[in-house]
Amino acid sequence: MLSFKPLIGIILVLALTLTQGCVVTRGTIGEPLQEDAISQIKKGTTTMAEVVALIGAPDRIVRGNDREIFHYYYYDGKSPAMLLVLLNFIRMDIKSDNLYVFFDKNGIAEEVVYGKRTGRTQFRLWPFGE
Amino acid sequence: MSSLAPRFSSIRFAIGILCILFLYAGCSVRRVAFNDVVTVEQVSFIRVGQTTIGDLADHIGAPDEITESEFGVVALYNWSDTKSAAFDFGALARLILPYAPTMTLNKTGITPEQLQVVFDPQWTVRAYGFSRRTMDKPIVWFWPF
């Protein structure tokens, strides 16, 4: 039983040595967009007020082609880093989700455009390659 | 002669370690990727006057920004791959001195790129194009001059 103690100590020291200088950071902007709420927006029937009730107030309101466009966004960034005494690697991967709801002149949803990229955000340390 | 051989090999080993340390000394590599790259091949499906904003979103996702211009509404897809490398000549001193002088060469290349798609009032594509594209730069390139 006693012989395990040095082994545990060695494993602990090894683990600490291997992970020393490791930094893991995650940053987000906004709230993740709920796909079940987005799917409830029906073109030609859902009103502006209903969209706000479902998803919340937009992050931006854009005007284009005489129409109001609600823009919702969410950003997710993952950044691992290895900060050793002589060598540092830092990599950050940021992706965004965007939702646009186009309203006609009567305030009825006319088009919904949604793109999700944050699912592909990765913790990648190695800065070389793609 | 035989007693000199191990000593010579240990000196070579020490010199090798020093060389590796010197090569990596104060080397810092940073990379920040924002969104996925949109390639020319990915947008080859676009037909001016036919492709709608919905078709575009189905193929390459929602744009990052929609704005109005004199020519119509413009959808913008943004991405970038920022590379930064630094070499601190003072880093080796950290191993032997309590004070580490800073002698750093650093180069950072921020390359924001953009796909711009202009729509007519019926939300079909009127025109599209990429921003001025930069050639791929090496990841480790710290020489700032």
Instruction: Report pLDDT digits (tens) over A83-93.
Output: 877 788 899 99
Which of A70-79, B15-24, B39-48, B78-87 has the lowest average pLDDT?
Answer: B15-24
Stretch B78-98: mean pLDDT: 82
Set of chain B residues whose Cβ sits within 8 Å of the Cβ of A101: none
Sequence-ordered list of residues with C-beta below 8 angstroms from that of A114, at least 6 positions apart, any chain: A33, A35, A38, A97, A98, A99, A100, B57, B62
> Distance from A68 to chain B by nearest Cα, in Å?
11
| Domain boundaries defined on chain B | 4-130
Q: Which CATH number fits domain A23-120: 3.30.1220, 3.30.1450, 3.30.200, 3.40.50?
A: 3.30.1450
A33 at interface of B, judged by CB pairs closer than 8 A: no
> Distance from B6 to chain A by nearest Cα, in Å?
29
This complex has an ipTM of 0.79
Amino acid making up residue A92 = M
> Taking the alpha carbons of B60, B53, A74, B39 in that order, is the dihedral positive or negative?
positive
| Domain boundaries defined on chain A | 23-120
